[in-house]
Amino acid sequence: MILTVTLNAALDITYRVPRLRPHSTNRITEVSERPGGKGLNVARVLAALGHRTVATGFAGGGTGDALRALLAETDVTDALVPVGGGSRRTVAVVDETTGDTTQLNETGPTVSPAEWDTFLGTYRELLGEARAVALCGSLPPGVPVDVYARLTRAARTASVPVLLDTSGEPLRRGLAARPDLAKPNADELAALTGSTEPLRAARDARRRGAHAVAASLGPDGILAVTADGTWQAAPPWHITGNPTGAGDSAVAGLLSGLVEELPWPDRLTRAVALSAATVRAPAAGEFDVATYEELLSRVVVTDHPAAA
């Protein structure tokens, strides 16, 4: 099975409005609710790809109950650890005229030392069955900032490959624990390295400890710097829609490709096709199947001849 970790799970709420007008009343034409947080989005896409997937992390309060009820309707196995505080909500407001999305994210519950210890026990037990693990997203209050470094080292001790998808100080510390793959976006990569040139920044991030770095570049696709080579994959045309969760679908593509031992160009093709197909879907954690299947044969992969 594939294990995903979402320490700051959320109930994702998506509102669609004809046109978003600040400082005014907006009439909602459609609302959807999904179990959310980066790792849960990854888990749902992995399950849709046919992989047995288990999701762990924290969930609590009425919001946590709601997201777990929604998760029970999917093919993802729920191994979330209960907490006393209430899980957060994230609200995405999609402007149907422009396609732009406005995101509002709550902070999340404070995790106690006892709840953290319970999670660690659950995590170590699940590693015994895992073929790979994705460590994803922001940290709730009360969780140590070096948590992803600790979880990466535990996975490596269990010989389980690790994909790390976070930002800021948790990313910097997590890289030092040598994850198999880090997947920052362009802004996260620039904040980490101080460089806005993607290839230079990705190489810098890899020197900080990751065995490979796959950087999301928005409409320009994904740049991967690995021990085997450097590639960039991009969709053949600009995809419009709701970008929420597109990066999480890319993680699912990369992680499933790792488990299936696909060559890097094929992993990137899948990741880009899934990411673009998610932009065309109504909510994070989903992808438009027709778009995905069409793009699989049309994603453009470029081999960078320079050494990684």
- Write out the H or E segment, with its range, that includes residue 166: none
- State residue 214 phi and psi, 5-degree precision: -120, 110
Structure tokens at 299: 């994603």
The total number of residues shown for the chain amounts to 308
CB burial readout 154-193, b (16+ within 10 A) else e: bbeeeebbbbbbbbeebbbbbbebbbbbbbbbbebbbebb
**Beta-ladder partners of 230:** 225, 304
- Residues 233, 265: contact at Cβ < 8 Å? yes
> Nearest 5°: CA angle at 285, between 283 and 290?
80
- State residue 306 phi and psi, 5-degree precision: -65, 150
Is 165 labeled as catalytic in the residue annotation? no
Read off the amino acid at residue 234: A
Q: CA 183 to CA 248: how far, in whole Å? A: 10
DSSP letter at 218 equals G
Catalytic one among 12, 165, 180, 248?
248
Catalytic residues: 248
